[in-house]
Structure 1
Amino acid sequence: MLTTRASRETWLLVLMALLVLGAGLGLRDPWPSDEPRFALVAKQMVTSGDWLFPHRGLELYSDKPPMLMWLQATLYSIIGNWRIAFLLPSMLAALGTLWCVHDLGRRLWTRRVGLYAAWMLLFALHFTFQAKKAQIDPLIVFFITLANYGLIRHLLLGPAWRWWWFGWFAAGLGVITKGVGVVALLMIVPAALASLWGWRRVGLSVRHWQFWVAPLMFLLAIALWLVPMVVTALSTGSVEYRAYMDDILFRQTAGRYTKSWDHHQPWWYFLATMPSMWLPAFLAIPWAIPAWWRRLRRRDPRYLVLLGWWVLIVLFFSIPDGKRDVYILPSLPMFCLALAPLIPGLLRKRAFQWLLAAFTAALVLFTLGAGTALLTGQGDFDARLMDSRGLDQAAIAALAWAAVAMGCWGVISLLAWGHRRAHLGVVSTLTVVWLLYSLVGYPLLNSASSASGLMQAVGQRIGPDAELGLVAWKEQNLLMADRPAATFGFQKGWDAQLQDGVAWQAQAPATRWLLVQQDAVLPCVDRSRAELAGISNRRRWWLVPAGAVQGPCELPADQRERERALQARQFEE
């Protein structure tokens, strides 16, 4: 496999991707904001056997389609280890995305262009950061990129009707992963324009019957989940199932797009997001824009399809008020693919190499500055970590030394590669940053970030025979509890949860405890009789025995509104 230069370069990319993306696998539990939620839903799928209607505690979870949770539950059933199973879908999806980009670059241009595209994507900050998290975004990026792959194999490298059908099917899988998977099909728009303008090598013809099979493949993929869910919801007559169906099909898709209720941002939000989060690839933009323009003037459909789709994605997600940086992440692979043919020329430019060296230097200054501030106690940064994260001095010192090590390695990389091969310095520095973040940061931050330390301490305090109820809880509390815990709703108001929890506790006051988030500890709880259980995820948690509850746990209307507002803000986090 390593007898030729081409094979060595390909395997170097494969090994580096496995190293960067796989580092830390199995070293941590799910961290907020979304990871514990999906892992909890997947865990309840396995324990309950109900894979069609996901649950979060006692309530149905209808915010997202179940694809990610299905994969996590399936991998756990095979591996038997949640620490690996919950992160593995993201890692596999990221590797699949890299393969699609590499193979498209090889087919559209050359083998080296494919390598450049994959290297840029692997070390784009936004891609790597999300690929190492157990959220839906790495999976939706993969399915959208896979759909792009199938469409491009037909539109620019065809005719290849089977790939055309496959692209639509992958877009359908994207829809049942996260509703926005349909945006992959926007790639047809620039392809149609190129065909209309008479540009060569664009295979888009609606006169063939094979063209119209593709929408059926799209619907078939969606039907794999939609038909069983709808049939079950309607046939059982369950009000709960019907509400789940209405929410996930209408409110969480069209409703969220047209009337966003969270993450409000200005229309130009993504214009500021891409330059900061798509580094270092985005540093090439000053040279790329005129080069792209020259190629478009030469009527090269490869650039029109790739860049046109990228622009359409940015426009599509700029329309609603609600915006998050991850919304346009699926366009990053095609951005890197369009940029890759320009890289050989850019790497010969002194200005571009200096810009890459400046990026590495800025990363060095940031890591050295953060590590030094933690070690010396400047700016009360360490005190804030102790107060908000519950970290002790030993953990903070270890994190500080890891940051210093990142910075020192960056200095060595700058000196070793200089400004003439600064791109190698960037790769070297970022590799060590991600390795130390995963291998050192994961174990140090896990106890406080995952709530495992808090829940372990709670279990030890109340003893093995006690029962635990959760009030104003977060998903990580139920996920990391050392015993089956009682819950009293999740979206229900905190005051109502506390009232139900107190009633539950009164049935066996000697053996039942409540774990209550501090913001939900009402005046009916005597804090002198309650115990501070610990700090986790910037929140304090109290253990409330039956004897600490005095009087009815009711709030005046004005205080109830303030509590609801605080609860709503936490849902958005």
Structure 2
Amino acid sequence: MLLALLLLAAGIGMRTPTPSDEPRFALVAHQMVASGNWLIPHRGSDWYSDKPPTFMAMQAASHALTGDWRVAFLLPSLLASLGTLWLVYDLGRRLWNHRAGMWAALALLCTVQFVFQAKRGQIDPTVTFFVTAANAGLLRHFLLGPDRRALWFGCFAAGLGVITKGVGVLAFLMLVPWLLARRYRWQGLSTAPERIATWLVAALAFLAAIACWLLPLAFYLHAHDSIAARDYVSDIFVNQTLHRYVHPWNSFQPPWFYLEVIFTSWLPLSLALPGLLPAWRQRLREHDARFLLPLAWSVLVIVFFSLTRAKRDVYIMPALPLLALCAGPFLRDILQRRWAQWLALAFVLALAVPALALGLLGMLHPTAWTRHFVEARQLGDHASSLWIACIVIGIWMGLCIAACRLRRAGMALLAGLAGLWLAWGLWVAPLLARASSQAPLVQRVEQTIGPDAELALVAWKEELPLAFQRKVTDFGFVTPWHEQLAAAIRWQQQSPAHRWVLVLSDVMAPCIDKAATLDMGITSGRDWRLYRLDAVAPSCRGGVVPVGDVEDWGGIDKRR
């Protein structure tokens, strides 16, 4: 756990939120603290209905504890990831022994997707923790029970998962393999009879967790009934759940997408599959329910998310802890085999060589690709620091291979990945965040308009309001851009001398005279302009802005 704390906490407090999801959640948490309304999340002036408020409220609570947003937006992910590691270890210890639990937790800690997400201010590590806690409670009752308190705890955790992202209910897919195992009398199951009262209390625990959000929400919406309130309810309970699964609108991937995720994002654990699959098959032939339940649940989760066209790699992340759990009893023996040792060293080498080559290429012989990489991320003078970091990572991994060699390939793998994640957290991630920061844009705007002026944003992204210390006005986020511009013009007409608008340049034509605007520069690939009312064409005064199609407004999806 100390090693996990070192690796996962490295760099916390050293960077600001970076796109795409981090600024969105951080902005909602900011507005919770500023408004005092932690029940209805807002993104600017819009009600934010993409996700329930639990995760953003955790970020806001973290700010109340730490007083520092650079720490607060990452703290929930850190604590949730540490909690997930502890749950995997504890469950492995109870099901097998201490060594199996340690290997399972260590395997999870080495997995690329788990560590990368643990160091991000996104919702998925928290959801993974709640789902893993639910699974732990169910497994302790089914395999080590009867343990009614563990069952009730698991059902309550599943409810918390529901009010965090909605997928917490998937924990109850564990009932499918459990019922099959009971039907065919698999070994390792609790033999105590199930009582209806036990499951009634479990259902109440699940509903109680959901009620922590739904009951206050119902009272609030009843007292503040409006079109916005009804739209919020419809979107979060219908559009963002059922409709998004059945008729998704983005992130389309082929049916085999999650196989690619397993063999890439779940490295290096997936390298052990040639040894794990035969071992799992043997245990299933022996009717060992300790492997059937977590393995079958993981497969069901992957199948569930494979059936919809919209797929993202993090959707199946809750299945990863239980796969690591089932790997724990066998990893020590697998790493003593020659093929596994060669694979471990090859994996470290596959990371070391490109990192070293990229760093040397960027430093000594920049190419068109490296120059484009630097320009796209606005690294500027910071590019040399990035190339040095790549060289250091490559050399460190090479030294790990040379020092440990084949006999201690597992140690080479662990040490190499530890160095990589420390360098990423303490060096690379802060560097990339600083290079793409909105601070230079904000500084130029502040110097131009002065402290007494009012500022509004049109066609904005979530990271932009976060960078301002002053209060900024917006006219909605998902509102079509031409409607935002029309509202901004009407807003400016109320006080032309003191009101400025910062606008994406793609949105200006035909209402804003580009020659009458001030160029604020390009940030994150977007050209920003600052103007007052005198730059607005007479035909657009009063907010008369023509409606254009997507191409007319810069060809950028306003929801992204």
Give the TM-score normalised by the residue count of structure 2. 0.95
Instruction: Tell which deviates more after alignment, 39-48 or 327-336.
Output: 39-48
- 1:464 equivalent in structure 2: 451
Query: What is the CA–CA distance in structure 1 between the aligned matches of 2:374 and 2:513, rounded to whole Å?
Result: 26
Q: Residues 456, 438 of structure 1: CA spacing in aligned structure 2 closer, same or farther, 3 A cutoff?
A: farther
**Amino acid of the structure 1 residue aligned with 2:525:** R
- 1:272-313 deviations in whole A, cap 9, x for unaligned? 111000000110011211111011101111110111011000
Unpaired runs of at least 5, structure 1? 1-13
**Amino acid of the structure 1 residue aligned with 2:293:** V
SS in 1 for 2:131: helix
Equivalent positions of 1:53-452 (< 5 A) are: 53-203=40-190, 205-376=193-364, 378-392=366-380, 394-452=381-439
SS in 2 for 1:156: helix
* Structure 1 residue 534: Cα displacement: 2.7
* Structure 1 residue 211: Cα displacement: 2.5
Query: What is the CA–CA distance in structure 2 between the aligned matches of 1:162 and 1:208, rounded to whole Å?
Result: 15
Unpaired runs of at least 5, structure 2? none
Q: Residues 353, 174 of structure 1: CA spacing in aligned structure 2 closer, same or farther, 3 A cutoff?
A: same
- 1:301-336 deviations in whole A, cap 9, x for unaligned? 111011101100000101111110000000000010
- 1:103-129 deviations in whole A, cap 9, x for unaligned? 111111111111111111112000001
Query: What is the CA–CA distance in structure 2 between the aligned matches of 1:203 and 1:303, rounded to whole Å?
Result: 14
- 1:3-56 deviations in whole A, cap 9, x for unaligned? xxxxxxxxxxx2211111101111111111111111111111111111111111
* Structure 1 residue 153: Cα displacement: 1.0
Q: Residues 453, 181 of structure 1: CA spacing in aligned structure 2 closer, same or farther, 3 A cutoff?
A: farther
SS in 2 for 1:278: coil
Query: What is the CA–CA distance in structure 2 between the aligned matches of 1:382 and 1:518, rounded to whole Å?
Result: 27
Contact 1:448–1:454 under 8 Å retained in 2:
no
Contact 1:388–1:539 under 8 Å retained in 2:
no
Query: What is the CA–CA distance in structure 2 between the aligned matches of 1:325 and 1:535, rounded to whole Å?
Result: 31
Give the TM-score normalised by the residue count of structure 1. 0.93
Instruction: Tell which deviates more after alignment, 380-389 or 268-277.
Output: 380-389
* Structure 1 residue 567: Cα displacement: 4.1
Instruction: Tell which deviates more after alignment, 306-315 or 445-454.
Output: 445-454
* Structure 1 residue 555: Cα displacement: 6.6
User: Aligned pairs, how many?
Assistant: 556
Q: Residues 565, 257 of structure 1: CA spacing in aligned structure 2 closer, same or farther, 3 A cutoff?
A: farther
**Amino acid of the structure 1 residue aligned with 2:509:** L
SS in 1 for 2:389: helix
* Structure 1 residue 502: Cα displacement: 2.3
**Amino acid of the structure 2 residue aligned with 1:530:** T
Contact 2:108–2:320 under 8 Å retained in 1:
yes
What is the RMSD of the two structures over their aligned residues, measured on CA atoms? 1.8
Query: What is the CA–CA distance in structure 2 between the aligned matches of 1:113 and 1:534, rounded to whole Å?
Result: 55
Is it true that 1:496 corresponds to 2:479 in the alignment? no
SS in 2 for 1:534: strand
Q: Residues 282, 470 of structure 1: CA spacing in aligned structure 2 closer, same or farther, 3 A cutoff?
A: same
Query: What is the CA–CA distance in structure 2 between the aligned matches of 1:498 and 1:377, rounded to whole Å?
Result: 46
- 1:38 equivalent in structure 2: 25
Query: What is the CA–CA distance in structure 2 between the aligned matches of 1:527 and 1:447, rounded to whole Å?
Result: 29
Instruction: Tell which deviates more after alignment, 358-367 or 505-514.
Output: 505-514
SS in 2 for 1:528: helix
SS in 2 for 1:42: helix
* Structure 1 residue 356: Cα displacement: 0.6
Is it true that 1:562 corresponds to 2:551 in the alignment? yes
Q: Residues 181, 537 of structure 1: CA spacing in aligned structure 2 closer, same or farther, 3 A cutoff?
A: farther
Instruction: Tell which deviates more after alignment, 37-46 or 546-555.
Output: 546-555
* Structure 1 residue 381: Cα displacement: 3.4
Contact 1:493–1:564 under 8 Å retained in 2:
no
Contact 1:375–1:400 under 8 Å retained in 2:
yes
Query: What is the CA–CA distance in structure 2 between the aligned matches of 1:452 and 1:102, rounded to whole Å?
Result: 42
Q: Residues 519, 419 of structure 1: CA spacing in aligned structure 2 closer, same or farther, 3 A cutoff?
A: farther
Contact 2:506–2:554 under 8 Å retained in 1:
no
**Amino acid of the structure 2 residue aligned with 1:80:** G
**Amino acid of the structure 2 residue aligned with 1:332:** L
Contact 1:199–1:300 under 8 Å retained in 2:
yes
**Amino acid of the structure 2 residue aligned with 1:172:** G
Query: What is the CA–CA distance in structure 1 between the aligned matches of 2:419 and 2:448, rounded to whole Å?
Result: 40
Instruction: Tell which deviates more after alignment, 381-390 or 291-300.
Output: 381-390
* Structure 1 residue 194: Cα displacement: 0.8
SS in 2 for 1:27: coil
**Amino acid of the structure 2 residue aligned with 1:507:** Q
- 2:559 equivalent in structure 1: 571
**Amino acid of the structure 1 residue aligned with 2:302:** V
* Structure 1 residue 94: Cα displacement: 0.3
Contact 2:507–2:554 under 8 Å retained in 1:
no
- 2:532 equivalent in structure 1: 545
**Amino acid of the structure 1 residue aligned with 2:114:** F
* Structure 1 residue 474: Cα displacement: 0.6
Query: What is the CA–CA distance in structure 2 between the aligned matches of 1:254 and 1:43, rounded to whole Å?
Result: 29
Contact 2:80–2:126 under 8 Å retained in 1:
yes
Query: What is the CA–CA distance in structure 1 between the aligned matches of 2:539 and 2:214, rounded to whole Å?
Result: 45
* Structure 1 residue 383: Cα displacement: 2.9
Q: Residues 80, 276 of structure 1: CA spacing in aligned structure 2 closer, same or farther, 3 A cutoff?
A: same
Query: What is the CA–CA distance in structure 2 between the aligned matches of 1:40 and 1:225, rounded to whole Å?
Result: 20
SS in 2 for 1:50: coil
